[in-house]
A and B are shown apart, each in its own frame.
Chain A
Amino acid sequence: MERAAPLAVPLGQTEVFQALQRLHMTIFSQSVSPCGKFLAAGNNYGQIAIFSLSAALSSEAKEESKKPVVTFQAHDGPVYSMVSTDRHLLSAGDGEVKAWLWAEILKKGCKELWRRQPPYRTSLEVPEINALLLVPKENSLILAGGDCQLHTMDLETGTFTRALRGHTDYIHCLALRERSPEVLSGGEDGAVRLWDLRTVREVQTIEVYKHEECSRPHNGRWIGCLATDSDWMVCGGGPALTLWHLRSSTPTTIFPMRAPQKHVTFYQDLILSAGQGRCVNHWQLSGELKAQVPGSSPGLLSLSLNQQPAAPECKVLTVAGSSCRVDVFTNLGYRAFSLSF
């Protein structure tokens, strides 16, 4: 639909290079601005593009309004994760977390507000940061990634307060339990670990691949995505996408999806998941596949639900993955259009 028709004009050197760059672009992360009108997307070249959702969704939207308002080089490596506080956009990827002011981000030549690097053990390679998680109650940020630890950072002072060790391989994803100050993390080692932030201890470990129902050895044991809602937790990756009851540590529903899933989230009484393959999958908690809505990328990496109360008209689902396009779903069942880098 949105795909560009084959161009008749032959290209010069720079055009070819740009076309190739676009062709091999992967968008790893998305974050919606606190006002709900802008969407930030980070790609594998370390660039962050800011799209105006309100302009793209307005009735007089043109082709240009689907292009980024501003694009800037944020990191040297890929931007794996982004979150927004009520004032800042925090982006991370190549071992550093950088903060950008939302208020100034649309201006040209925007400089980062600050940058922090968690205390890594010296290594040949700087470990990446795969996941960022805000803990609003204590105004801190949790970073996790290549060095197999969860680092908590006080947003007030910018100091790293805790390091949670336990994973044996790098960490893919984080999820916060709403009621108690507990954090879930899933990693390459195939384990989902529950951490208590007060005691700085590992409370619970679920080694998903060890459960026969959901293990899929040919895909590996890694946990790529994680989401939680009260006592329930859903996780997927190498093993099948599974709904767990946390207190009893038992898998309750195994979702019949062959492709590894890279992002999962609860939405009302549904579970939305995406991963290898073009489709966003809508699951009922019982394990029934309610819908499969195709996007424009061959593989999906991140889903973002814009639920900012400030901009109800921009309440959309945006999906990005291994292409330069961010698909926008105005209602869950239909891809309205794509934003493009």
Chain B
Amino acid sequence: MSSESSKKRKPKVIRSDGAPAEGKRNRSDTEQEGKYYSEEAEVDLRDPGRDYELYKYTCQELQRLMAEIQDLKSRGGKDMAIEIEERRIQSCVHFMTLKKLNRLAHIRLKKGRDQTHEAKQKVDAYHLQLQNLLYEVMHLQKEITKCLEFKSKHEEIDLVSLEEFYKEAPPDISKAEVTMGDPHQQTLARLDWELEQRKRLAEKYRECLSNKEKILKEIEVKKEYLSSLQPRLNSIMQASLPVQEYLFMPFDQAHKQYETARHLPPPLYVLFVQATAYGQACAHMKSSSQPPRQDKTLSVAIEGSVDEAKALFKPPEDSQDDESDSDAEEEQTTKRRRPTLGVQLDDKRKEMLKRHPLSVMLDLKCKDDSVLHLTFYYLMNLNIMTVKAKVTTATELITPISAGDLLSPDSVLSCLYPGDHGKKTPNPANQYQFDKVGILTLRDYVLDLGHPYLWVQKLGGLHFPKEQPQHTVIADHSLSASHMETTMKLLKTRVQSRLALHKQFASLEHGIVPVTSDCQYLFPAKVVSRLVKWVTIAHEDYMDLHFTKDIVEAGLAGDTNLYYMALVERGTAKLQAAVVLNPGYSSIPPIFQLCLNWKGEKTNSNDDNIRAMESEVNVCYKELCGPRPSHQLLTNQLQRLCVLLDVYLETESHDDSVEGPKEFPQEKMCLRLFRGPSRMKPFKYNHPQGFFSHR
């Protein structure tokens, strides 16, 4: 390369020499290689400093010669020409020298360049080498740190302590003499020992596994034996059923019931347990005093589909799937039905009012063999319980028209406790739920769902606070237990009083006041006034009557009461009596309001004696209760009313100015006709003597 570059460079130099030198160079190229080399070698031999001196000298000489030539020329003369020629030759020589020097300078330059290049390459090579070395150093350093950071696995292994190791390990492993001094060897030995131990344990583990396998097999065999025993036991149970029945020991049935009871929702379960317990307690009390009887006063049963109840308690992911499925379906269906928003709301309402598939049946038997059937439901989404009631009697009853409401499921249990009419939801939280789906009040649904009486909630152990609604109401056993007995007693009295009323109504409708023999002493033997009409009237009609205003204003005419109109007649006198029958009969008496049509219309507002008659039946009702339980009260009150009318009419002062005999001759024995500032008539009947006096 260096030669090439020099070759390239050389023509340039030659070119700078001018075109005439070209031929010569070609010649020298071919024929004088050695000379060329000699010139190059000459360069090495010559001192550049001296060349520089020479160059300076030559230039000075040239300048001088030029100046002389000029001088000579300016002087002009013939002899001068030779001198000029001579001088020209001299300057030519000098030019040659200059040319030579120039060539030499070029060669030197080229040489210098070559040298520099060479040196540079060397430096590069060294630099590369240095880099490589540095890299290697770094790599090695990294390796070293890696090595330093290395952690052996054995460090994680929890080895036994040193003392233990030397104590327990056999000497061929511990090699105390070697390992005592060398921690490395020591660790190795310890690891060996560990390995040994682990091997042993693995062995043991395998042994245990096989042992377990063996035992499992044994269990399997035994299980098979047991399951083969089940059908045989079943058949024995089956065979024993008739014996159980024969001996009145329904173990099996009870067991089944308990099984079903497990699927009851908590409130119904509480009710079931408490009712069963109460029923058994009653049976025991009975059986202690009487020979055991098969018919219990209280029997409890569970109705409804257990499978459906089970389905309610599926694992949550299943139900979620179902839900999403049903959601999808619902979406589809709703898409189809979208135009009718009402239907959609209806569905939501239905969902909200859904009851639990299981219900608890309570049969409460009264003394006269009539039975109150109560079916308790649980509304899952509302968290309340409802009840439906039905009364069956031992003998078929002829239902009087006016007794229609007495035993109707809707009203038979109304107001068992004061104010508990079962038309409103007892759970305050429900109102918010209703608002969402547009239910105004539960009242419209009670016929279908049953009544959510407060006592029902209490029997189910549900207690709702009055003020704040709260969703976490837990079924409480103690609450249920504390209410069970009173409620059952109330229920019994209610049914009995209703049945008693039922019977009384049947006679009353035919105008007969069915006074029983044990109440006969309350009335005189001869009662002339007769009941001619006994009909039921609507609440609104009662409110509209002009003579019932006081009762309405006193708040005694609620819409849970039953209303009747009785008509008592004697001759031309007609006594209307509007009767409020509180559902709590007979602890709460029926209330009478009177209106007498005889010589004008007389009511409590214009006749003190009518007022007194009302007071006799309404306030002094306790005398009329008869033997406990005072179910005959209504009859007695009506009979009393007839007696009062007799007294009223017979003691009415005779108007002397009117001709003819009195319409109602005085037949009752009275001590005095009037008494006191308000001129009361003698309404009080004194039993054995049979006379009337003032209260």
For residue A322, which residues in chain B have a CB less than 8 angstroms away from its CB? 604, 608, 611, 678
For residue B591, which residues in chain A have a CB less than 8 angstroms away from its CB? 16, 20
Tell me if A21 and B653 are in contact (CB < 8 A). no
Tell me if B675 and A146 are in contact (CB < 8 A). yes
> Given A4-B553, A4-B555, A322-B678, are A11 and B418 also a contact pair (CB < 8 Å)?
yes
A20–B556 Cα distance when bound, in Å, is 9
Residue B180 at the chain A interface, CB threshold 8 Å: no
- Residues of B391-408 at the interface with A, using a CB-CB cut-off of 8 Å, are none
For residue B588, which residues in chain A have a CB less than 8 angstroms away from its CB? 11-13, 16
Tell me if B619 and A24 are in contact (CB < 8 A). yes
* Size range of the chain B interface in the assembly: 35 or more
Residue A77 at the chain B interface, CB threshold 8 Å: yes
Residue B77 at the chain A interface, CB threshold 8 Å: no
For residue A173, which residues in chain B have a CB less than 8 angstroms away from its CB? 677
Residue B153 at the chain A interface, CB threshold 8 Å: no
Instruction: Write the nearest CB–CB distance from B547 to chain A, whole angstroms.
Output: 11
> Given A217-B656, A218-B657, A298-B604, are A10 and B418 also a contact pair (CB < 8 Å)?
yes
For residue B655, which residues in chain A have a CB less than 8 angstroms away from its CB? 217-218
Instruction: Write the nearest CB–CB distance from A85 to chain B, whole angstroms.
Output: 22
Tell me if A23 and B551 are in contact (CB < 8 A). yes
Tell me if B675 and A170 are in contact (CB < 8 A). yes
Tell me if A8 and B676 are in contact (CB < 8 A). no
A301–B677 Cα distance when bound, in Å, is 8
A13–B630 Cα distance when bound, in Å, is 14
> Given A218-B657, A299-B605, are A80 and B677 also a contact pair (CB < 8 Å)?
yes
Residue B558 at the chain A interface, CB threshold 8 Å: yes
Interface of B is mostly: loop
For residue B556, which residues in chain A have a CB less than 8 angstroms away from its CB? 11, 16, 19-20, 23
A6–B611 Cα distance when bound, in Å, is 21
- Residues of A53-85 at the interface with B, using a CB-CB cut-off of 8 Å, are 77-78, 80
Residue A327 at the chain B interface, CB threshold 8 Å: no
Tell me if A20 and B619 are in contact (CB < 8 A). yes
Tell me if B674 and A124 are in contact (CB < 8 A). no
Residue A182 at the chain B interface, CB threshold 8 Å: no
Residue B206 at the chain A interface, CB threshold 8 Å: no
Instruction: Write the nearest CB–CB distance from B694 to chain A, whole angstroms.
Output: 7
For residue B653, which residues in chain A have a CB less than 8 angstroms away from its CB? 220
Residue B247 at the chain A interface, CB threshold 8 Å: no
> Given A24-B614, A322-B608, A322-B611, are A125 and B558 also a contact pair (CB < 8 Å)?
no
A9–B419 Cα distance when bound, in Å, is 7
Residue A31 at the chain B interface, CB threshold 8 Å: no
Chain B 468-504: CB-based contact to A (< 8 A → 1; otherwise 0)? 0000000000000000000000000000000000000
Tell me if A10 and B611 are in contact (CB < 8 A). no
For residue A24, which residues in chain B have a CB less than 8 angstroms away from its CB? 611, 614-615, 618-619
For residue A172, which residues in chain B have a CB less than 8 angstroms away from its CB? 677
Instruction: Write the nearest CB–CB distance from A278 to chain B, whole angstroms.
Output: 8
Instruction: Write the nearest CB–CB distance from A168 to chain B, whole angstroms.
Output: 13
Residue B299 at the chain A interface, CB threshold 8 Å: no
Residue B421 at the chain A interface, CB threshold 8 Å: yes
> Given A23-B550, A222-B679, are A10 and B606 also a contact pair (CB < 8 Å)?
no
Tell me if A299 and B677 are in contact (CB < 8 A). no
Residue A224 at the chain B interface, CB threshold 8 Å: yes
Which of A6, A128, A173 lies at the interface centre, i.e. has the most chain B CB atoms within 10 A of its CB? Answer: A6
A22–B557 Cα distance when bound, in Å, is 15
A22–B553 Cα distance when bound, in Å, is 12
Residue A37 at the chain B interface, CB threshold 8 Å: no
Chain B 413-424: CB-based contact to A (< 8 A → 1; otherwise 0)? 001001101000
Tell me if A13 and B584 are in contact (CB < 8 A). yes
Tell me if A222 and B674 are in contact (CB < 8 A). yes
Which of B587, B619, B678 lies at the interface centre, i.e. has the most chain A CB atoms within 10 A of its CB? Answer: B678
> Given A20-B591, A24-B614, A299-B605, are A78 and B552 also a contact pair (CB < 8 Å)?
no
Tell me if B672 and A170 are in contact (CB < 8 A). yes
Residue A292 at the chain B interface, CB threshold 8 Å: no
Tell me if B419 and A10 are in contact (CB < 8 A). yes
Closest to B695 in A: A77
Instruction: Write the nearest CB–CB distance from A208 to chain B, whole angstroms.
Output: 15
Residue B693 at the chain A interface, CB threshold 8 Å: yes
A218–B611 Cα distance when bound, in Å, is 20
Which of B555, B558, B584, B614 lies at the interface centre, i.e. has the most chain A CB atoms within 10 A of its CB? Answer: B555
Instruction: Write the nearest CB–CB distance from A8 to chain B, whole angstroms.
Output: 7
For residue A12, which residues in chain B have a CB less than 8 angstroms away from its CB? 418-419, 584, 588
Tell me if A6 and B552 are in contact (CB < 8 A). yes
For residue A277, which residues in chain B have a CB less than 8 angstroms away from its CB? 606
For residue B560, which residues in chain A have a CB less than 8 angstroms away from its CB? 10
Residue B554 at the chain A interface, CB threshold 8 Å: yes
- Residues of B536-556 at the interface with A, using a CB-CB cut-off of 8 Å, are 550-556
- Residues of B641-671 at the interface with A, using a CB-CB cut-off of 8 Å, are 653, 655-658, 671
Residue A130 at the chain B interface, CB threshold 8 Å: yes
For residue B674, which residues in chain A have a CB less than 8 angstroms away from its CB? 170, 188, 222
Tell me if B677 and A19 are in contact (CB < 8 A). no
Which of B419, B589, B608, B691 is the one whose CB lies under 8 Å from A299? Answer: B608
A4–B552 Cα distance when bound, in Å, is 10
Instruction: Write the nearest CB–CB distance from A181 to chain B, whole angstroms.
Output: 25
For residue A299, which residues in chain B have a CB less than 8 angstroms away from its CB? 605-606, 608, 678
- Residues of B585-634 at the interface with A, using a CB-CB cut-off of 8 Å, are 587-589, 591, 599, 604-606, 608, 611, 614-615, 618-619
Residue B582 at the chain A interface, CB threshold 8 Å: yes
For residue A193, which residues in chain B have a CB less than 8 angstroms away from its CB? none
Chain B 283-312: CB-based contact to A (< 8 A → 1; otherwise 0)? 000000000000000000000000000000
For residue A10, which residues in chain B have a CB less than 8 angstroms away from its CB? 415, 418-419, 421, 558, 560
For residue A77, which residues in chain B have a CB less than 8 angstroms away from its CB? 695
Tell me if A6 and B555 are in contact (CB < 8 A). yes
For residue B608, which residues in chain A have a CB less than 8 angstroms away from its CB? 26, 299, 322
Residue A283 at the chain B interface, CB threshold 8 Å: no
For residue A222, which residues in chain B have a CB less than 8 angstroms away from its CB? 674, 679
25 chain-A/chain-B pairs, Cβ below 8 angstroms:
A4-B553, A5-B553, A10-B415, A11-B556, A12-B419, A16-B589, A20-B591, A23-B618, A26-B608, A26-B611, A28-B676, A78-B676, A125-B671, A125-B693, A125-B694, A128-B676, A173-B677, A188-B674, A217-B655, A217-B656, A218-B657, A220-B653, A222-B674, A299-B606, A322-B611
Query: Closest 8 A-B residue pairs measured CB to CB?
Result: A7-B555, A298-B605, A12-B418, A24-B615, A10-B419, A217-B657, A220-B653, A218-B655
- B residues sitting closer than 8 Å to A (CB atoms) are 415, 418-419, 421, 550-558, 560, 582, 584, 587-589, 591, 599, 604-606, 608, 611, 614-615, 618-619, 653, 655-658, 671-672, 674-679, 691, 693-695
- A residues sitting closer than 8 Å to B (CB atoms) are 3-13, 15-17, 19-24, 26, 28, 77-78, 80, 123-125, 128, 130, 146, 170, 172-173, 188, 217-218, 220, 222, 224, 262, 276-277, 298-299, 301, 322
Q: Taking A26-B678, A173-B677 as given, write out 15 further A-B residue pairs in contact, using a Cβ cutoff of 8 Å, ordered by the A residue number.
A: A10-B415, A10-B418, A10-B558, A12-B419, A16-B589, A19-B555, A22-B554, A125-B671, A128-B694, A170-B672, A170-B674, A217-B656, A222-B679, A298-B605, A322-B608
